[in-house]
Chains A and B, each alone.
Chain A
Amino acid sequence: MAFAKEISRLMFGVIVVFIVIIGSASYWAIVGADSILLREDNPRLVEAEASIQRGAIYDRSDNLLVQTRPDENGVLERVYLVPETYSAIGYFSLRYGTSATEFAFDDLLRGDTTLEPLQTVIQQDLLHRPQQGSDIRLTLDLTIQQTIVESMGGYSGAVVVLSVPDGQVLGLVSLPTYNPNTLDADWDTLIEADGNPFFNRALQGQYQPGGMLQTPLMVAGILINQPFDVVTSNATRPLMIDGQQITCATQPDEQDLSYQQSYAFGCPFPFSLLADELSSESISNIIQAFRLDSPTTITGFTFDEQPITPEITPEPIAEETLADYLIGQGDLTINPLGMATIVSAIINGGNAPQPYILDASRSDDGIWQSERPITQQSIPMLTTNASRRLRELMRNNTLIGASTPAARDGLTIGGHTALAISGEGTQTWFIGYVSLGDQRGVAVALVLENTDNAFDAATIGGNILEQATITLQQPTD
């Protein structure tokens, strides 16, 4: 047996080497798999993402807004069907990620939470079925969106429309916007574009409030029984802010106005005098009660900022900046969603509903499951009496003041229009409501950038409220 011993050793050695190879393959396939599969340079991640049948998005009336479908080469593509909803929906891009609604409900749309863990193993790991996302139905209304965009014309700005008392977001528009269908091709141009179309002004825009602060100040006045019929001489005089004038939203015929009239025309001067009547602490309390110093969010939309809790003691406003604060030209900035929430509190007896936009979702079984908040949270902002008084004041504004273009025959509409200085430009605000009875109604907040055209702002607001009334009064299925 010349070579038996050596060949036996070789056999043993070969087996050991192949066991090491199997061990190494097992390591990369099981133990070390996650560490390299999750690397950013793994092209399979993009491919896996591209193979996901992302769910469709519908409006409240089941109008299809977004869908995923194969292109002529069989590659899945995300198609955004309605330009008026681009800014509310955001984008989904393999290269640039997601934004707005696409970002907020990404898990649902991808189908990450649709399957149980065992089903995931069977469907995806064993059978390699493509991941199927859920369709979602939003509370947005297509006709309202179309009305907003049509009414806005060429203006930049933002609009938020809320249904009261449930808090449904009926309209959400930020302009200028972009076409998400051509996002990858347009990206470089868009990031350099004037007006920053990627910035969602409705959700994240923090604007100088200017005369918009007059509404909380009126509440403060109500709380201290400030008489609103006291006339201020030369109430329409402009104020100088960093070399720019801020004045009434529309000029009244009279120069001497009461607080109520000043509020109706959005004149800032009388409110600057409130510094003598109100303490900085009471102003801070009002600002906090209205959540003006903490960004309001829609349920599901998360941002980094932490909301301020009631336990936090408000920081007093410095006396030297109080006058600027009172005319909305101080450090405080507000966003359209926050203002719409305040208006919804005014309609709803002082309690603002928590805004939400996701109505329902639908997975493979084809049945819509409600995604509405199980318990409707409300945010107390003002007393019932103060809310009633404010409704009356805002109603009056549409009869005699800058908000008259918002009035519509047969509708109970209230509003407030005001200007703010921001940088080197002026922006025009409109907030308003239409009452549908029983504390039901629609709240709207809009801001137009680089304009002092209060007439246009109030007209747009009126158009939106009129369309919202039609929408909500239509019989539902």
Chain B
Amino acid sequence: MTNATGMFSSFSQTNNTERWLLLLAGLFVSVNFIALEIVQSNGFSHWLHLAMWIACAVGGSLALDRLLPERDPLLFPVVMFLAGWGIVLIDRLAPNFADRQSIWLVISVCAMLATIWYEPLLRWMRAYRYVILFGGIILLVSTILLGRNPSGIIGAPELWLGFGNVFFQPSEALKVILVAFLASYLSEQYPAMRAQSQFKLGNDRAWLSPRILGPIILMWGLSIIIVVWQRDLGTAAIFFAVFLILLYVASGQTIILIGGGLLLTLAGFVAYNLFSVVELRVDIWLNPWLEADGRAYQIVQSLMAFASGGIFGEGIGQGSPTYIPVVHSDFIFSALAEEYGLIGVLVLVSAICIFIMRGLRIAVQHQDRPFNALLALGLTMLIAIQCILIMGGVLKLLPLTGVTLPYMSYGGSSLLASFVIVGLLLRLSAEVN
């Protein structure tokens, strides 16, 4: 009786918190759609996109109540808030893409619910890691051999697999697969890693053990392959960074982060000298002003967007972020800064931080189940690293890597993968209890 009351109480509290937060997110998204309609009337489409978002939020929340009554109450509202804000911005920046993004949102929420609904998934991911890895490698090879670019521009990176008019970016799925594989592998290897470290305490060469060094070199090589064949600097950086973090957490060896960082620098140096795309991005990162009208136009316009937005922003639909090429995808953060100002940036970063802290909290709560802990950690850090790379990139803190801002940027594959990640985190949060 007491347990039943406790469960009901917890269920009720989760529900209330989540619903209030969703209501707040809904108010924010609705007000922005109304403001956008006032500024640039677009007929029926604004309202259709809002309706689809509301359907996803309400439907998703009700379905979650049935599937996972004791889930984390913040994750779903936060990602719906980000996704809603993203659709508002895409509708403002590139209205032609907003229909697609809204449809992808519906598909993504369904995929999230399917991830949650299929209860054996976590167990399956843990047990069949090599099958998953094999599937991932097939995806990678398929992309290398059959990859296309939806824009059709000759010479553009061919990172998509196409089925008619529908394109999917396998690297998005590969990220989740990689984390699942590593979580499973390291959850078995970590006691040995830590024991070896302790036995060889004081031995400077302890970190050279094949158990530690082998996977690092393997992943480094995989990242280099992605850079060389696919010229996908962003995905390679995310793969390697997330891998280093997982290995660091599993082994408890800080030297891994340092050594991995040095390898990353070395790889960057080699890539700079070998690949023009890397050279270009590093050059315009170091000094974009020399070619402000040329190769560095995108980053310079991005910085101008931040400057133009100031503290309060220009207001939705009232700035000029469309001077930034591909603003609705890689540079949506810059557009947000121009139209919502520094206040908008603070809100966005706060929402992302809440997501990351909740994800890491789930990891901490699963310490008695290493696979779950490492999976939660890896998935969370996937989102965190991706956010840091693109936010740092558009602010000239890092070289541009061409990745999307999770949940906000235009891109169906990215949105789908990001919602699968939140589905897995929600499932893990429910399993805490």
Enumerate chain A interface residues (CB-CB to B < 8 A): 1-7, 10-11, 14-15, 17-18, 20-22, 24-26, 28-30, 32-34, 36-37, 39, 41-44, 47, 125-126, 128
Chain A interface, DSSP helix/strand/loop, else mixed: helix
Q: How far does the Cβ of A327 sit from chain B's closest Cβ, in whole Å?
A: 56
Q: Is the CB of A10 within 8 A of B381?
A: yes
Nearest residue in A to B323 (C-beta to C-beta)?
A43
**CA of A4 to CA of B360 in the docked complex: distance in angstroms?**
10
Partner pick for B397 among A6, A24, A32, A37, CB 8 A cutoff: A24
Nearest residue in B to A35 (C-beta to C-beta)?
B307
Q: 1/0 per residue B268-309: CB within 8 Å of A?
A: 000000000000000000000000110000001101101111
Q: Is the CB of A17 within 8 A of B388?
A: yes
Q: Is the CB of B367 within 8 A of A2?
A: yes
Q: Does B364 count as interface, using CB distance less than 8 angstroms?
A: yes
A22: chain B residues at CB < 8 Å are 345-346, 349
Knowing that A2-B370, A33-B306, A44-B308 touch, tell me 13 more A-B residue pairs with CB under 8 angstroms.
Answer: A2-B367, A3-B249, A7-B364, A10-B249, A14-B353, A17-B392, A21-B391, A30-B342, A32-B307, A36-B303, A37-B307, A41-B293, A43-B301
Q: Does B357 count as interface, using CB distance less than 8 angstroms?
A: yes
* Count of chain B residues with a beta carbon within 8 Å of a chain A beta carbon: 50
Q: Does B428 count as interface, using CB distance less than 8 angstroms?
A: no
A30: chain B residues at CB < 8 Å are 310-311, 342
**CA of A11 to CA of B381 in the docked complex: distance in angstroms?**
10
Partner pick for B312 among A15, A34, A126, CB 8 A cutoff: A126
Q: Is the CB of B373 within 8 A of A15?
A: no
B309-358 interface (Cβ within 8 A of A): 309-312, 314-315, 318, 320, 323, 337, 341-342, 345-346, 349, 352-353, 356-357
Q: How far does the Cβ of B88 sit from chain A's closest Cβ, in whole Å?
A: 17
Q: 1/0 per residue B112-139: CB within 8 Å of A?
A: 0000000000000000000000000000
B161: chain A residues at CB < 8 Å are none
Show 17 residue pairs from A and B whose CB-CB distance is below 8 angstroms, ordered by the A residue. Answer: A2-B370, A3-B373, A3-B374, A3-B377, A4-B367, A5-B252, A7-B364, A14-B384, A21-B388, A21-B391, A22-B345, A22-B349, A24-B395, A33-B307, A36-B304, A37-B307, A47-B320
Q: Does B185 count as interface, using CB distance less than 8 angstroms?
A: no
A1: chain B residues at CB < 8 Å are 367
B11: chain A residues at CB < 8 Å are none
Q: Does B82 count as interface, using CB distance less than 8 angstroms?
A: no
Q: How far does the Cβ of A195 sit from chain B's closest Cβ, in whole Å?
A: 36
**CA of A22 to CA of B337 in the docked complex: distance in angstroms?**
11
Q: Is the CB of B306 within 8 A of A42?
A: no
Q: Does B190 count as interface, using CB distance less than 8 angstroms?
A: yes
Q: 1/0 per residue B363-397: CB within 8 Å of A?
A: 11001001001100100010010001001100111
**CA of A42 to CA of B391 in the docked complex: distance in angstroms?**
22
**CA of A190 to CA of B60 in the docked complex: distance in angstroms?**
66
Q: How far does the Cβ of A49 sit from chain B's closest Cβ, in whole Å?
A: 12
Q: Is the CB of B395 within 8 A of A7?
A: no
Nearest residue in B to A28 (C-beta to C-beta)?
B306
Q: Is the CB of A7 within 8 A of B307?
A: no
Known: A15-B353, A20-B397, A128-B318. Is A3-B363 also a contact (CB below 8 A)? yes
Q: Is the CB of A7 within 8 A of B360?
A: yes
Known: A36-B303, A39-B292. Is A25-B360 also a contact (CB below 8 A)? no
Q: Does B90 count as interface, using CB distance less than 8 angstroms?
A: no
Q: How far does the Cβ of B248 sit from chain A's closest Cβ, in whole Å?
A: 6
Give 5 closest A-B pairs by Cβ, nearest first: A33-B307, A28-B306, A6-B249, A24-B395, A29-B342
Q: How far does the Cβ of B294 sit from chain A's closest Cβ, in whole Å?
A: 10
Q: Is the CB of B292 within 8 A of A41?
A: yes
Q: How far does the Cβ of B239 sit from chain A's closest Cβ, in whole Å?
A: 17
Q: Is the CB of A21 within 8 A of B341?
A: no
**CA of A133 to CA of B67 in the docked complex: distance in angstroms?**
61
**CA of A22 to CA of B395 in the docked complex: distance in angstroms?**
10
Q: Is the CB of A37 within 8 A of B391?
A: no
Q: Does B238 count as interface, using CB distance less than 8 angstroms?
A: no
Nearest residue in A to B396 (C-beta to C-beta)?
A24
B391: chain A residues at CB < 8 Å are 21
Q: Does B245 count as interface, using CB distance less than 8 angstroms?
A: yes
**CA of A4 to CA of B367 in the docked complex: distance in angstroms?**
8
A28: chain B residues at CB < 8 Å are 303, 306-307, 395
Partner pick for B314 among A25, A43, A128, CB 8 A cutoff: A128
Chain B interface, DSSP helix/strand/loop, else mixed: helix
Partner pick for A2 among B190, B303, B315, B345, CB 8 A cutoff: B190
Q: Is the CB of B310 within 8 A of A125?
A: yes
Q: How far does the Cβ of B311 sit from chain A's closest Cβ, in whole Å?
A: 6
B308: chain A residues at CB < 8 Å are 33, 37, 44
Q: How far does the Cβ of B24 sit from chain A's closest Cβ, in whole Å?
A: 22
Q: How far does the Cβ of B295 sit from chain A's closest Cβ, in whole Å?
A: 14
Q: Is the CB of B364 within 8 A of A29?
A: no
Q: Is the CB of B307 within 8 A of A125?
A: no
Q: Is the CB of B248 within 8 A of A25?
A: no
Nearest residue in B to A34 (C-beta to C-beta)?
B307
Q: 1/0 per residue B168-179: CB within 8 Å of A?
A: 000000000000
Q: Is the CB of B337 within 8 A of A29?
A: yes
**CA of A30 to CA of B337 in the docked complex: distance in angstroms?**
12
**CA of A14 to CA of B357 in the docked complex: distance in angstroms?**
9
Q: Is the CB of A14 within 8 A of B293?
A: no
**CA of A259 to CA of B290 in the docked complex: distance in angstroms?**
70
**CA of A47 to CA of B346 in the docked complex: distance in angstroms?**
27
Q: How far does the Cβ of B179 sit from chain A's closest Cβ, in whole Å?
A: 15
B20-79 interface (Cβ within 8 A of A): none
Known: A2-B373, A32-B307, A47-B320. Is A21-B367 also a contact (CB below 8 A)? no
**CA of A4 to CA of B301 in the docked complex: distance in angstroms?**
42
A26: chain B residues at CB < 8 Å are 342
**CA of A26 to CA of B377 in the docked complex: distance in angstroms?**
29
**CA of A2 to CA of B293 in the docked complex: distance in angstroms?**
52
**CA of A43 to CA of B319 in the docked complex: distance in angstroms?**
12
**CA of A1 to CA of B292 in the docked complex: distance in angstroms?**
51
Q: 1/0 per residue B216-254: CB within 8 Å of A?
A: 000000000000000000000000000001001110100
B374-429 interface (Cβ within 8 A of A): 374, 377, 381, 384, 388, 391-392, 395-397
A21: chain B residues at CB < 8 Å are 349, 388, 391-392, 395, 397
Known: A20-B397, A21-B349, A22-B346. Is A29-B309 also a contact (CB below 8 A)? yes
B381: chain A residues at CB < 8 Å are 10
B360: chain A residues at CB < 8 Å are 7, 10-11, 14
Partner pick for A6 among B248, B300, B384, CB 8 A cutoff: B248
Nearest residue in A to B397 (C-beta to C-beta)?
A24
**CA of A92 to CA of B45 in the docked complex: distance in angstroms?**
39
Q: Is the CB of B320 within 8 A of A10?
A: no
Q: Is the CB of A42 within 8 A of B304?
A: yes
Q: How far does the Cβ of B307 sit from chain A's closest Cβ, in whole Å?
A: 4
**CA of A24 to CA of B303 in the docked complex: distance in angstroms?**
10
Q: Is the CB of B395 within 8 A of A33?
A: no
B301: chain A residues at CB < 8 Å are 43
**CA of A37 to CA of B249 in the docked complex: distance in angstroms?**
44
**CA of A36 to CA of B395 in the docked complex: distance in angstroms?**
13
Known: A11-B360, A21-B391, A36-B307. Is A3-B367 also a contact (CB below 8 A)? yes
Q: How far does the Cβ of B281 sit from chain A's closest Cβ, in whole Å?
A: 18
B307: chain A residues at CB < 8 Å are 28-29, 32-34, 36-37
A39: chain B residues at CB < 8 Å are 292, 304
Q: How far does the Cβ of B75 sit from chain A's closest Cβ, in whole Å?
A: 16
**CA of A2 to CA of B190 in the docked complex: distance in angstroms?**
9
**CA of A61 to CA of B397 in the docked complex: distance in angstroms?**
60
Nearest residue in B to A11 (C-beta to C-beta)?
B360
**CA of A20 to CA of B381 in the docked complex: distance in angstroms?**
18
Nearest residue in B to A42 (C-beta to C-beta)?
B304
A14: chain B residues at CB < 8 Å are 353, 356, 360, 384, 388
**CA of A44 to CA of B300 in the docked complex: distance in angstroms?**
12
**CA of A9 to CA of B245 in the docked complex: distance in angstroms?**
11
**CA of A36 to CA of B289 in the docked complex: distance in angstroms?**
10
Nearest residue in B to A19 (C-beta to C-beta)?
B349
**CA of A2 to CA of B342 in the docked complex: distance in angstroms?**
39
